[in-house]
Amino acid sequence: MPLRAYFELPADRMPSRLSSLLGAFESALNARGETVTAEFREGLMRALPALRTFALSLTGNATRADDLVQETMLRAWTNHHRFAPGTRLIAWLFTIQRNLFYSEIRKRKREVEDADGVHAAGLTALADQDDTVALRSLYEKLEHLPATQRDALLLVGAEGFTYEEAAEILACRVGTVKSRVSRARTQLADLLGEPRDTLDGAAA
């Protein structure tokens, strides 16, 4: 099963407050005499589900993920003039989101540790259904991967970025991304207790 299948969240699980943010941001910018193109606004709307799944994978908590998406949207909206037309908006947004997440960690001067399973126990299940239980289990397993491997795997395997695009987001070489994805896939399959070819296609 491709890793991406684990992260496909139905649209009805997207918090309405996130989709409503765009209108609030647009009103605020209009009050300041600034505008964004319809193409940019629509691009942000399309990116919301992917931004939230990646935020969930980074934070392991629905509330924190929503806050991270909100901050990402705010940062992107207020810096819309920095986006280069013709480039992939989603890659730009993922770079913003990832940088925000790790900046927060550095600011707190601590690394996420879960020696006693406290963090994993605090994960928020979206519903009592088989698919969300499986997703929660996956988040718990992802906690055991080094952050560099986890990020590479999620970008390529869950979000569908090419190795080249992931390398740009992660600011490293393409070969480094391929190596991280390969090691992460092997380790994750072992943690899930599945054959190592189970996640084939995650980085195809």
Whether residue 136 contacts residue 93, with contact meaning beta carbons closer than 8 Å, is answered with no
Residue 48: closest CA among 81, 19, 80: 19
Would you state the pLDDT for residue 163?
A: 93
Domains of the chain in sequence order: 3-109+118-192 (1.20.140.160)
Residue 23 to residue 42: CA distance in whole angstroms: 12
Would you state the pLDDT for residue 128?
A: 41
Would you state the pLDDT for residue 131?
A: 45
Whether residue 126 contacts residue 13, with contact meaning beta carbons closer than 8 Å, is answered with yes
Would you state the pLDDT for residue 120?
A: 42
Would you state the pLDDT for residue 199?
A: 58
SS3 (DSSP) at 59: helix
Which regions in the chain score pLDDT beneath 50? 1, 9-12, 111-112, 114-115, 117-133, 202-204
Whether residue 151 contacts residue 57, with contact meaning beta carbons closer than 8 Å, is answered with no
> Which spans in the chain are helix H?
16-19, 21-31, 38-59, 62-78, 89-107, 118-121, 130-142, 147-153, 163-170, 174-192
Tell me the per-residue pLDDT of 63-85, one tens digit each, with 9 for 90 and over. Answer: 888 889 989 998 998 898 899 88
